[in-house]
Structure 1
Amino acid sequence: MIYTVTLSPSIDYIVRMSSMRSNTTNRTDSEEFYFGGKGINVSQVLAELDLDSTAFGFLAGFTGEAIEKGLRNNRIHTDFIHLDEGFTRINIKIKAGGETEINGQGPDIPDAALEQLMQKLDQIKDGDTLVLAGSIPKTCPDDIYERMLERVKDKKIMIAVDATRQLLVNSLSKHPFLIKPNRLELSEIFHAEVETAEDVEKYAGKLQEMGARNVIVSLGRKGAFLLDETGATHTCGVLKQPVINTVGAGDSMVAGFMAGYLKTGDYGYALKLGSACGNATSFLPGLATRAKIDEVFAQLK
């Protein structure tokens, strides 16, 4: 079983309009909503690839109930902790020429709920996969990912960590199977300019020295780079199609890579499938669909 953890889920409410003016009533041209949060995104793309997953995390209120119902309807197993107070956040994304985002705060996470989450991790068995993805709520301790990884340290499982800055760095001592920083995040972690392919490989290697097994670096329009745990390097390009959406593209790549590796044990194939999933999401209003993934995969080099 694949388990994903989303500590701060959301409903992403997207409104589109030709223009937006302040201090007056604006009317939308169209509206959409999606169940969001990086781990949840991973679960949704895994479902498109016909892989089962169980989503862990915290939900609250009527918005939390809507997320859980929606995920179950999308063939995703859920095992969330339901909080007694507050409601799962709503993120508003206004697309009116440019893009304006208003992200909600979400509910407070009490210590008792954190302990419940730790206990849920105990059901993970040897051979399973765990994906920790996304930011953490302000009421969670900064070392929450480290605590979770410590909880499962004696299990023979594959772990993917998709987080930024210190959250990511702090996880490396636990030797995650996969991490996926982008080039900007490499620059921030090492306080260095990361511009060339040589720079990318150099700093990916440093992340391996710090404990990561496999390092994917997202390179935007230049594709993706993988330094695998054998020391081999792989690259994959992108398709030249109009980019409609970047939200969830990185999560889709993580889902595709893990699915590809679990299927074949081949790092090159895994990177190509991950890239296909990330590309597919960027070409659609929402997350990648199986049809779009297959279409992109057939064309990627």
Structure 2
Amino acid sequence: MKGELMIYSVTLNPSIDFIVRVKDFQIGETNRAYEDNFFAGGKGIMVSKLLKNVGTECVNLGFLGGFTGAFIEKNLKKLNIPSDFVTVEENTRINVKLKTEEETEINCPGPKISEKEKEEFLDKIRKIKRDDFVILSGSVPSNLGNDFYINIIEILNENSVKFTLDSSGETFKKSLKYKPFLIKPNKDELKEYAKREFKDNKEIIDYVRTNLVGMAENVIISLGGEGALYIAKDFSLFAQPFKAKENVVNTVGAGDSVVAGFVNYMLKENDVEKAFRFAVACGTATSFSEDIGELEFIEEISKKLVIEREHYGN
């Protein structure tokens, strides 16, 4: 990457992801897991893990507390991923991911953040340099309020720091005023924003070209198992769903991997089509991995992806 550029990944509400695998899960009965794993989780942490796997350093910012926070800190150190978290009094949360016939998640609310802890975090944001890059993603501790991301973005905007926000609802809408480097709503989030249904990809592309292109530098629409779209004013790219012999292993972190992969490639090479291919490969590799996709697997998938390009007139 150019010069001393540093990527920061903000995880305001990290978690330990406790992944439990159960066969023939029965509600109301005693179920026995055949496997369980603990991972450092939270969307921003997933971003930093993907970046580490592709050879890019990323500093984690956010809040950690208690024995659960210590576990995450230790886990990141083991992975050689740098962090600069604010230490808080209450415990970092544990989220439960139940892997059975149907995947089920229980996400906990997380710690309350004091005024002093909040200001300590915002001071770290104020020190980020103009040429650096910030990736914001995941939930916000409840007592900080829905506009806390916007408070962060306003500071970044004042200091001319580029950012991407992976969020939805009102926060997503308000962030567009500051022209994010990348937005990546999924199909459901796009429906929520547009307050309408989309019967096919053409309707999505037409809507996004008219209403979202120009409000962000780059727009990716995640279609889940139906692929992904990159949409610009004069062209679109469609990544066909990846066909694999194996079943999807883990959807946790797949979207975060897309964001990290795209940002990483664009900051290095500034080539939209190659960055989109790499991003989709990152997300796909993660969905077929226990944790986050590894570089060798990402590169293997990238070569096999089918990307269709369509041009539009003025």
Normalising by structure 1, we get a TM-score of 0.94
Q: What's the offset of the Cα at 1:263?
A: 1.6
Q: Which amino acid aligns with 1:101?
A: E
2:249 is equivalent to residue 244 of structure 1: yes
Question: RMSD value over aligned CA atoms?
Answer: 1.5
Contact 2:10 2:136 in 1 (8 A): yes
2:25 aligns with 20
Pair 200,24 (structure 1): closer, same or farther in 2 beyond 3 Å: closer
2:42 is equivalent to residue 45 of structure 1: no
From 184, 188, 199, the equivalent of 2:188 is: 184
Contact 2:208 2:231 in 1 (8 A): yes
Q: Percent identity?
A: 40
Please, which moves more after superposition, 237-246 or 264-273?
237-246
Residues in 1 aligned to 2:130 and 2:138: alpha-carbon distance in whole angstroms: 24
Residues in 2 aligned to 1:295 and 1:273: alpha-carbon distance in whole angstroms: 10
Q: What's the offset of the Cα at 1:212?
A: 1.7
2:298 is equivalent to residue 293 of structure 1: yes
2:178 aligns with 174
2:29 is equivalent to residue 36 of structure 1: no
Residues in 1 aligned to 2:238 and 2:133: alpha-carbon distance in whole angstroms: 24
Q: What's the offset of the Cα at 1:23?
A: 4.9
2:209 is equivalent to residue 207 of structure 1: no
2:260 aligns with 255
Contact 1:184 1:194 in 2 (8 A): no
From 111, 120, 123, the equivalent of 1:119 is: 123
Contact 1:238 1:275 in 2 (8 A): no
Q: What's the offset of the Cα at 1:22?
A: 4.7
Counterpart secondary structure, 1:4: strand
Normalising by structure 2, we get a TM-score of 0.90
Q: Which amino acid aligns with 2:171?
A: L
2:223 aligns with 219
Q: What's the offset of the Cα at 1:191?
A: 0.6
2:236 aligns with 233
Q: What's the offset of the Cα at 1:293?
A: 0.8
Contact 1:94 1:100 in 2 (8 A): yes
Counterpart secondary structure, 2:103: strand
Contact 2:156 2:162 in 1 (8 A): no
Q: What's the offset of the Cα at 1:75?
A: 2.0
Please, which moves more after superposition, 51-60 or 96-105?
96-105
1:72 aligns with 77
Structure 2's unaligned 5+ residue stretches are 1-5, 307-314
Contact 2:186 2:221 in 1 (8 A): yes
Counterpart secondary structure, 2:142: coil
Counterpart secondary structure, 1:202: helix
Kindly provide the CA deviation profile for residues 253-279 of structure 1, in whole angstroms up to 9, marking residues without a partner as x: 001101111121011111001000000
1:80-99 equivalences in 2 (<5 Å): 80-84=85-89, 86-99=90-103
From 147, 150, 160, the equivalent of 2:154 is: 150
Q: Tell me which stretches of 4 or more aligned residues in structure 1 moved more than 4 Å.
A: none
Q: Which amino acid aligns with 2:288?
A: F
Q: What's the offset of the Cα at 1:106?
A: 1.2
Kindly provide the CA deviation profile for residues 129-172 of structure 1, in whole angstroms up to 9, marking residues without a partner as x: 10001121211121111111111113343211101121111111
Q: What's the offset of the Cα at 1:20?
A: 3.2
Counterpart secondary structure, 2:230: strand
Residues in 2 aligned to 1:110 and 1:227: alpha-carbon distance in whole angstroms: 41
Contact 1:186 1:203 in 2 (8 A): no
Residues in 2 aligned to 1:203 and 1:134: alpha-carbon distance in whole angstroms: 26
Contact 1:4 1:43 in 2 (8 A): yes
Q: What's the offset of the Cα at 1:115?
A: 1.4
Contact 1:238 1:279 in 2 (8 A): no
Contact 1:186 1:194 in 2 (8 A): no
From 158, 164, 168, the equivalent of 1:160 is: 164
Counterpart secondary structure, 1:139: helix
Counterpart secondary structure, 1:192: coil
